[in-house]
Amino acid sequence: METLRVLQLVHDLEHLSAEEQYYAQQPAEHAQKIFMDRQREVISTTGKLQRELAGVIRYNPRTLLGIEYPLSEALDSMADLFVNLEEIRHAALYSVEDLPARAGRFAKKVESHIEEGEAVMA
């Protein structure tokens, strides 16, 4: 069940990232307000994802990471996901043109980890 929440947040992040980039390119004043709202939502969603990932990893790392042992690989995989979230947060604030691509790569990475975790669990 935790992985469903993570996947939903990842898809929300992708959608919000695309909207933020779109509104950043619009000249109208009302578009600027929407852009700022989307920027806040992207940052909020990355925070939610960090909490959800930490919870999934704490209780069952195999579900998300597909790795039981060796521990160093599991830790590297977790650290990579958290670094990617920080890069997305940074892009939301400073390089919105990179944001959708970063969110898309993150989504693919998380989906891949979840699929690997489900295969290991089977």
CB 7 within 8 A of CB 111: yes
Query: Residue 25 has what DSSP assignment?
Result: T
**pTM of this prediction?**
0.83
CB 18 within 8 A of CB 98: no
pLDDT of residue 120 exceeding 50: no
Q: What are the tens digits of pLDDT across the range 69-118?
A: 566 777 788 889 999 999 999 999 999 999 999 999 999 999 887 777 65
Q: Where are the alpha helices (DSSP H) in 25-98?
A: 29-59, 61-65, 71-94
Domains: count for the chain: 1
Range of the domain at 11: 2-121
